[in-house]
């Protein structure tokens, strides 16, 4: 059993986001990472880290395992600047670029039914003589997901016994289904 091939997975969402962010030419440039370990050196900033830390599946009904799923796409934006004001201005610019890249890139938006929320948390703090700005931009992405059963072994023979008419002897036969 597995996720249907045409359904968006967490890894698929991360890959789409990374491609959209790289194509948008944000302040981070080519420094867009998926599941990159922290911390990062100041020389590596600005940078974007992409993750899908949470998801919630609500059943879409009885029968086949189908779900209306909300995946949280989290993008951590990190910048460095000489002053608190300059760092905050860079961080605000990068946040706007990230939001535009995710919300306006057709390849990212197409498989998503709707965005449930966009939430941004940010902070600027001192690290040595540099100011570091960090923001987490979270997108609640609602998608439809269906799981398909394993194909299993192919059916090669059907063995059937039919009770006889008027209390006669039962009839047994084998049938080979078309392949």
Domains of the chain by start residue, with CATH: 2-153 (3.30.70.1700)
Given a cut of 70, is residue 124 above it in pLDDT? yes
CA distance 78 to 93: 11
pLDDT score, position 155: 62
Higher pLDDT, 178 or 116: 116
Residue 156 in this model has a pLDDT that exceeds 70: no
29-75 per-position pLDDT tens digit: 999 999 766 667 888 899 999 999 999 999 877 777 888 999 999 99
Short-list 38, 28, 70, CA closest to 52: 70
CA torsion, ordered 93, 95, 97, 102, to nearest 10 deg = -170
If you search the block for the tokens 């420094």, which residue do you land on?
31
Only one residue has tokens 């998926």, namely 34
**Based on the number of CB atoms within 10 Å of its own CB, is 109 exposed (0-12), middle (13-18) or buried (19 or more)?**
middle
Band (pLDDT 50/70/90 cuts) for residue 100 is very high
pTM of the model: 0.79
Check if the beta carbon of residue 36 is closer than 8 Å to that of residue 21: no
Asked whether the beta carbons of 179 and 154 are under 8 A apart, the reply is yes
| CB 109, CB 90: distance < 8 Å | no
Burial of residue 125 (CB within 10 Å: 0-12, 13-18, 19+) is exposed
pLDDT surpasses 90 at 142: yes
Counting Cβ atoms within 10 Å, is residue 114 exposed (0-12), middle (13-18) or buried (19+)?
exposed
Q: How confident is the model at residue 170 (pLDDT cuts 50, 70, 90)?
A: confident
pLDDT (tens digit per residue) in 20-37:
999 999 999 999 999 766
- pLDDT higher than threshold 80 for residue 172: no
Residue 60 confidence (pLDDT): 78
Share of the chain above pLDDT 70, in %: 85
């Amino acid at each position: 059993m597995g996720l249907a091939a045409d359904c968006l997975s967490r890894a698929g969402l991360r890959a789409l986001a990374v491609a959209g962010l790289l194509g948008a030419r944000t302040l981070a440039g080519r420094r867009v990472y998926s599941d990159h370990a922290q911390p990062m050196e100041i020389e590596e900033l600005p940078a974007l880290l992409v993750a899908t830390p949470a998801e919630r599946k609500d059943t879409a009904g009885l029968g086949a395992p189908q779900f209306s799923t909300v995946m949280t796409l989290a993008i951590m934006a990190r910048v460095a600047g000489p002053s608190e004001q300059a760092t905050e201005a860079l961080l605000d610019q990068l946040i706007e670029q990230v939001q535009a890249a995710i919300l306006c890139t057709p390849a990212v938006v197409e498989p998503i039914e709707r965005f449930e929320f966009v939430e941004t948390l940010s902070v600027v703090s001192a690290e040595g003589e540099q100011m570091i700005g960090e923001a987490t931009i979270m997108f609640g992405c609602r998608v439809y997901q269906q799981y398909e059963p394993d194909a299993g072994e192919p059916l090669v023979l059907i063995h059937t016994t039919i009770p006889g008419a008027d209390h006669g002897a039962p009839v047994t036969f084998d049938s080979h289904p078309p392949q």
